[in-house]
Amino acid sequence: MIARALQQLVALGVRRPFAVLAACLALVAGATLFAASHFAMTTDTAALISPEIEWRKNEKAVETAFPQLRDVLLVVVDGKTPELAEAATVKLSAALAVDAAHFRSVQRPDGGAFFDREGLLFGSPAEVRASTKALIDAQPLLGPLASDPSLRGVANAFATMLTGVERGDIPLSRIDRPMRAMADALDASAQGKPAYFSWQDLFAEPGASTAPPRRRLILAQPKLDYGALQPGEDAVAAIAAQAKTLGLDAAHGITVRTTGEVPLADEEFATLEENIGFVGLVMAAAMLVTLWFATRSAKIVAAIVGTIVAGLVLTTALGLAAVGALNLISVAFIPLFVGLGVDFGIQIAVRFNAERLDGAETGEAFERAAVALGAPLALAAGAVFLGFGAFLPTDYIGIAELGIIAGLGMIVALVASVTVLPAMLMLLKPGAPRREVGFSEAAPLDRWLGTHRKAVLWAFGLSMAGSIALLPLVQFDFNPLHLRAKDGPAMIALMDLMRDPLRTPNTINVLTANPEAARVLTAKLSALPEVAEAVSVDSFVPADQDAKLAVVQDAALLLDATVNPFDLTPPPSDAANGAAFARVAEKLRAAAAQGTDPAARSALRLAVAFDRLAKFAPAERDKATLLLVTPLGTMLDQIRSALQAEAVTRETLPPEIAGNWVAKDGRALVQVFPKGDSNDNVVLRRFTKAVRVVAPTASGLPVATQEAAGTVAWAFVEAGILALALVSGLLFLVLRDAKEVAFTLAPVVLSGFLTLGSCVLIGQPINFANIIAFPLLFGVGVAFHIYFVMAWRAGATDLLQSSLARAVLFSALATGSAFGSLWLSQHPGTASMGKILMISLAWTLVCALIFEPALLGPPRAKKA
């Protein structure tokens, strides 16, 4: 009945081409207006999987309790010195905090007033004693610096220490380290080289296990526009602009980078756009060339392309009406529609040419083609429709919506191919073909397949057995980071962070009933060998506080007057700075003359540098002020804060810290860090498994990626079984022969196994991007094999010499060359999809042209 309806539609296009094209133009115009006014696309990857799955519910519970953890952007500030990193982070975080146009919240997870004051308490008692001892030992240098934070004060600080050397109170070697460090910095500055000086490094205990950090982090939650391809682009640009305005760049010893889920996603789409024009050009050129060789007529090529474009516009409008917004997977309906639309167009055009070669006029040729192809085309479209519809019950929403749009697209493609294409060709009046449409050259191959049928079937059978044996070796790479371009700034920053096990994004979150439950769970998780550290709100309450505070308070009594002098010396003039350097240079030479050890050499080098500063123009002393005095203020402020440490309890934690770990409803968060290389899938699997044994409701990136892999894999298994059942039912309903149903589906299954086996042999893992090749393989494969089976059951002989073989060959070449151009993409995921598509279509073509004819065997009489 459907075949008869298609024949009537072809007749309509042949007899009333103007009316058909007018109706088509009206529909396309309406669809264009609808699509333009309703177009929406979300780049939110979380929307690709059903929110009703248990692990998604756990993820949602954490996001609901702590909304500040979702859609975050991490700013990594690296400085050549700890002071530069801290000062830059303070400036940048303050600037971003007032930028309400781009950011919802801005915080410093590893810095700020709380950590400045209480930071010492987070070290061990031995580390606290070592840090305070280093400050006490530096008291002779700190006093002059704090009372006179200027170049004169720096010079006088060395003068004070040298006085102690002159009296014999301390050896010159005791101050070798500060002399050498300052001489190095001043020499580099004088030579025009990048020069940096750190007072924190100078006062840090040599060989201490903890060094002053040169890296600081800012955590920002940007305002995103999911209607844009790069939702966080404006926020990232705002950070770059602020950094530029504040002079936070390499020239000033600062590097500011952004990473996190938002810029990583934006960077991925930017990579997709990078050479999309070139890929699109190659795709279009490859398809046009293939269409030309298939039809040998520019007018027919134009008609097929026009039909596909019209159908694509209609499908886009229908898809938007059906699903509301496209997602990152459903947008793949475009190449899918083009591929199968080209197949329908080539099938009709080649058969049309074959009928004209036999003497039929244009209209009659179309009507004959409709009689011959009506049933196969209808059956192929129906099978593809059901194949993609099988994804609807799955939890993989992204591909389920692709199934809806692709299913609608198959209807549109079929109707357009039997109405618009005949109507356009009736008006274009392409010239009659001048050469044979089929492949007479394939006669020897037809005979060879007939003679060696069993050997061919055995060969394919062994190939399938080998592919099945390789199935356990198929790799499924669930790590989404492996699909991203490795040279993007956000990706480079992330890989750098991932080398630090306590800054990796591969952390697990566990939501507990209250802070006490979080404390108990933290202890359990910290004991696991797969866990580097577990953090909860109580992790911000230092242990052994009484002992540590006693040490800090003792240091504060000794150092308070030193770092908080009652009288500050008035700022010196430039001349006073020069005079101070000249005076101390003499003292340094005198000290150097007392020996020949490394300390004496350092004193002499510093004397030369101070002499140079005393004699040079004021501009050189201004440079020295930036080099030495600016970080001095940062260091002194941090010492003052650290000496004011006081007891910390859960109740006295600042709201910006406590709020990240205890929700408004009282539930508490535990964050777990993996031990080992967090970019290693094996490490992540073990880590996730171990944590979920203790905390089954765990969520976070390691859980999400592994569970998403399982969800996607099961969706394909579930849809594959359902599609096989539905398509088998449809084929049996039409063919009424279980053997013919098997003949249609066996090559599809075979090509799938051969594709997976090829992936193992070439070392290509299956990932979230290239797995889309398999439903495309199913759709194209089912269509090809239906054509051959229905021609065979109608009594056709010498299948490889027929116009059908030509249509199938060029349809596969058009689809393969178009999809294969994706291999040229700069985006690793898209490139891997192009590779798998090429492999799968190559096997589909081999199975259609070699295995299928051998499987069908001798021609059979046409069924009644």
Q: Which pLDDT tens digit goes with each residue over 225-267? A: 766 667 888 899 999 999 999 999 998 999 999 998 788 777 7
Residue 246 CA to its chain's centroid (Å): 30
% of the chain residues with pLDDT over 90: 36
Do residues 681 and 477 lie in contact, with contact meaning Cβ atoms separated by under 8 Å? yes
Residue type, 421: L
**pLDDT: is 477 or 172 the higher one?**
172
For 701-727, the pLDDT digits (tens) are 889 888 887 888 888 888 888 888 888
pLDDT at position 11, please? 85
d(CA 346, CA 366): 13
Task: Using alpha carbons, select from 789, 795, 679, 691 the residue that is nearest to residue 741.
Answer: 789
**Measured distance CA(235)–CA(223) in Å, rounded:** 7
At residue 863, the pLDDT reads: 47
At residue 684, what are phi and psi to the nearest 5 degrees? -65, -40
> What is the rounded average pLDDT for all residues in the chain?
85
- Alpha carbon distance 420, 602 (integer Å): 89
Higher pLDDT, residue 312 or 487 = 312
Q: Which residue has the tokens 């269409």?
A: 291
Q: Which residues contact 629 (CB under 8 A, 6 or more apart)?
A: 149, 150, 151, 154
- pLDDT, residue 97, reads 93
Q: Is the pLDDT of residue 551 over 90?
A: yes
Q: Average pLDDT for residues 493-522, to the nearest whole number? A: 87
Is pLDDT above 90 for 387?
no
Q: Give residue 414's pLDDT.
A: 87
In sequence order, what are the beta bridge partners of 217?
Answer: 76
What pLDDT is stored for residue 458 in this prediction?
93
The residue-averaged pLDDT of 643-651 equals 92
With a cut of 90, say whether residue 791 has pLDDT above it: no
Integer angstrom CA distances of residue 187 from 41, 183, 601, 602: 57, 6, 14, 12
Distance of CA 321 to the CA centre of its chain: 29
- Give the pLDDT confidence of 301-310 residue by residue, as tens digits: 999 999 999 9
Mean of pLDDT values over 339-351: 82
H/E stretch holding 258 reads strand 254-259
* Mean pLDDT value across residues 498-505: 75
Q: Calculate mean pLDDT across residues 816-824.
A: 71
| Residue range 641-661: mean pLDDT, rounded | 92
C-alpha 572/C-alpha 153 separation (Å) is 9
Written as one string, the DSSP assignment of 102-123 is TEEEEE-TT-SHHHHHHGGGGS
Q: What tokens were used for 716?
A: 């394909």
DSSP character string of 765-797: -B-TTGGGHHHHHHHHHHHHHHHHHHHHHTT--
- Element counts in the chain: helices (H) and strands (E): 34, 8
Task: Output the pLDDT for position 864.
Answer: 42
Cα–Cα nearest to 854, from 445, 376, 380, 438:
445
What's the CA gap between 672 and 686, in Å, rounded? 13
Task: Name the band, by pLDDT with cuts 50, 70 and 90, for residue 447.
Answer: confident
Q: Say what the pLDDT of residue 691 is.
A: 95
Phi, psi of 105, deg, nearest 5 = -150, 150
pLDDT of 318 reads: 93
Q: b/e for 510-527, b at 16 or more Cβ within 10 A?
A: bbbeebebbbebbeebbe
CB proximity list for 36: less than 8 A, separation 6 or greater? none
What is the distance between the alpha carbons of residues 271 and 264, in angstroms, rounded to a whole number?
Answer: 10
